[in-house]
Chains A and B, each alone.
Chain A
Amino acid sequence: MLVNRKLILAHFWLAFAVFGIALTLGAWQMFIRSPIGTWLSNPELYYRSLTAHGTVMGYVFPTLVAMGFGYAISESALEQRLVGVRWAWAGFWLIVAGSIMAVIPIALGRASVLYTFYPPLIGNVFYYLGVVLVVVGSWIWVALMSINLRVWRKAHPGAPVPLAMFANVAGSYLWAWTAVGAALELLLQIIPVAAGLKTTIDAGLARVFFSWTLHAIVYFWLMPTYIAYYTIVPRAIGGRVYSDTMARISFILFLVVAMPIGMHHTFADPQVGAGFKFIHSAFTALVTLPTLLTVFTICASVEIAARLRGGRGLFGWIRALPWDNPMMLALAFSFVMLGFGGAGGLINMSYQLDASIHNTQWITGHFHLIFGGAIVIMYFAIAYDLWPHLTGRELIDLRLIRTQLWLWFVGMMITTFPWHWVGILGMPRRMAYFDFGDPGIAPQALSVTLSAIGGFILLASGILFLVILARGMRAPQTDAGPYRFALAVHQPATVPVALNTHALWVGLMIALTLTNYGYPILTLALNEGTSVPAVYVGAQ
């Protein structure tokens, strides 16, 4: 029952439009710093582009997808009109306003601080205020998801919350809490300095605050993808969810353990001691558990679909899968990229191995493979699956859709594998150009060139994606019927309270964050004399 289609379409269109812009910037960056580009006479342009690319891809694009998808889930899974539509539009327009406010100083070169902020570098105050508006807009969505679920519960006392909505609300709580770290950094530290009220800032404390956001934000990006794995893929390929219970446990685990692990981003930092570095490393190992459970459950769900289609044998069933179905293809690509990206992630969070690749191109390769690859390819699949229900028109050209998915997968492989490799060779991140004439850097030239070619393949795929969606707006009309989610093999009649509500787990999430972050933040905040003079960007 999708009533507020305009609202959902607005979120998706804005998400994919800004995605298209940021993707173009990304491809340009790959090109300009590769041996096939010529050196920029003004390297500052590169950092403007990089700031815009990161800000859009990190804060605006996935947030809008999660919001639009969340509204769609709320209306269709709960079969209930969205409560608070006006507020939802207010949230949307806040994000529009915030994005415009942030992008102007970036374009003027007044906020080239990258989306990770990096104080004591300080940019124009409107950049930070724009980011704050985007986050505030998304918090309205968090509140609406919670309210809508509450309204539904009142009408259906004791009934199991549909899995898609249970996961969606878990994702929204995760986002609300993980955004608090960056919000504290912005409101308490950066914005007072950017506004001229203060001139010094504690860079070490800021890095710890940001690590609070930096890791769990990835799991927020991941949520729509995991929701699609569990609740869309099995339905789209004619299977069933292997286990509804395991699905709920996975989402709960994400909610609880995605948060208190961010300090594995600060292993190489001097302002955090060994104890908390180790604790965060161990907790990061724990966060692999929900992914391992998910891989198992989804493979089992897919196998059910294959066997229902007549697949036989230990592995022979794989051939019986509907490979011409874009959803099947997207899932397979997503899993391959999740596998490689996840393995790389284990190295990043390792107490020992991280030193070999910290802040090298390996890291950039890693999160492009996980986020740009495994996650975003499912965003595409979600859009393709929802589009006919939102527009009332059919996406006819499945072959074009398959081509787009193939291009994205191949492009991402060609981009990120050489990227990992040059990282192992020690190539640093975020540089506008490299002197490939230096004998120490020359061996990396071929890999960087390959990555740039991959970047252009990704750009082609991204354009194709937008073309397919735009054509879908003018295709022949169709009645796609109600939007449905996958059923479990054993659809639960009742669910234990712990697996049907979030309160306990949100409490645990907050408690674990306080134990894992409270002491380091408190000692850093109380430490006198570590505030350093701000360095204003674009002031000269």
Chain B
Amino acid sequence: MSTEESHHDGAEVAARVERRWATISVIIIVAMALLAAFAGIHRATMPQPRVETTDPSRLHLSGEFVESNLGSVLETNGNVTVRAIGQQYSFTPACILVPADTPITLRATSADVVHGILIQGTNVNTMLVPGYISEQPMRFARTGDYLMPCQEFCSFGHEGMWGKVKVIDKTEFADRAKGGGRLSCVGQ
């Protein structure tokens, strides 16, 4: 800097450039937050909104997660509800049976420690925390078999905790559902 004046100019230029960059940064951040809010409100996809609790030490005795109520059920409105539990080191049912092209609600919880459900090739992904009920909406476009590993460390047998999801044709599922009861891959 040769003179005091040009030194001063330089400082002003620096401040102006900085301000511009800061403004651009803030605009990017606000735009991101607004996009997330918009998509959330339109329910394109969003994390689980509600908190529901359950007592893991009484799961097998009464309520929604007794063994006879686990599996898939066709509701009267045509939707399907799947109830499942995770425990060291398996899921019940180990293989979930669901129809393609149908709105499905997955309701699940843990009977002991923290587990997670992740269905590969989809964005179905939720934690199973003992004491709380996880709920996930899902819908499968294609029939086929999907792997469903436990995605959270649940002690020494974690690496062996893999479940499956079998997606079958909608009419075939409806046929099987006629008999009532809760469906899984058993007998498939």
A residues near B (Cβ < 8 Å) are: 43-44, 46-47, 112, 114, 118, 120-121, 202-204, 207, 242-243, 246, 266-274, 277-278, 281-282, 285-286, 288-289, 292-293, 296-297, 300, 346, 350-352, 354-356, 358-360, 425-426, 428-434, 438, 440-441, 489-490, 527, 529-533, 535, 537
Contacts and interface: CB of A to CB of B under 8 A. Distances in A.
A525 B168 CA distance: 43
Per DSSP, are chain A's interface residues mostly helix, strand or loop, or mixed? loop
A203 B114 contact: yes
B135 A270 contact: yes
Given A271-B51, A286-B29, A207 B159 contact: no
Contact of A535 (B18, B112, B121): B112
A354 B47 contact: yes
B178 interface: no
Interface residues of B, number: 68
A288 B121 CA distance: 30
A535 B153 CA distance: 13
A431 B155 contact: no
Contacts of A489: 10-11, 14
B52 interface: yes
A270 B134 contact: yes
B127 interface: yes
Given A270-B133, A489-B14, A490-B11, A428 B52 contact: no
B22 interface: yes
Contact of A243 (B18, B28, B88, B158): B18
Contacts of A530: 53, 131-132
Contacts of B53: 527, 529-530
Given A351-B47, A529-B53, A530-B53, A360 B118 contact: yes
A428 B158 CA distance: 10
A346 B32 contact: yes
Contact of A350 (B18, B36, B116): B36
Given A270-B52, A286-B29, A434-B159, 5 more contacts: A270-B48, A274-B47, A292-B28, A356-B123, A535-B88
Contacts of A527: 53
B116 A114 contact: no
Contact of A352 (B36, B130, B153): B36
B139 to A, nearest CB: 14
Per DSSP, are chain B's interface residues mostly helix, strand or loop, or mixed? mixed
B169 interface: no
A270 B156 contact: no
Contacts of A432: 158-159
Contacts of A267: 47
Nearest to B109: A270
B24 to A, nearest CB: 8
B151 interface: yes
Nearest to A346: B32
Given A278-B37, A355-B47, A535-B155, A268 B127 contact: yes
Given A278-B37, A440-B120, A489-B14, A359 B47 contact: no
Contacts of A433: 159
Contacts of B14: 242-243, 300, 489-490
A533 B57 contact: yes
B36 A532 contact: no
B152 interface: yes
Given A112-B155, A270-B135, A537-B155, A207 B129 contact: yes
Contact of B55 (A270, A359, A429, A529): A529
Given A118-B113, A296-B21, A204 B118 contact: no
B9 to A, nearest CB: 12
B156 A47 contact: yes
Nearest to B111: A532
A203 B25 contact: no
Contact of B131 (A121, A204, A537): A204
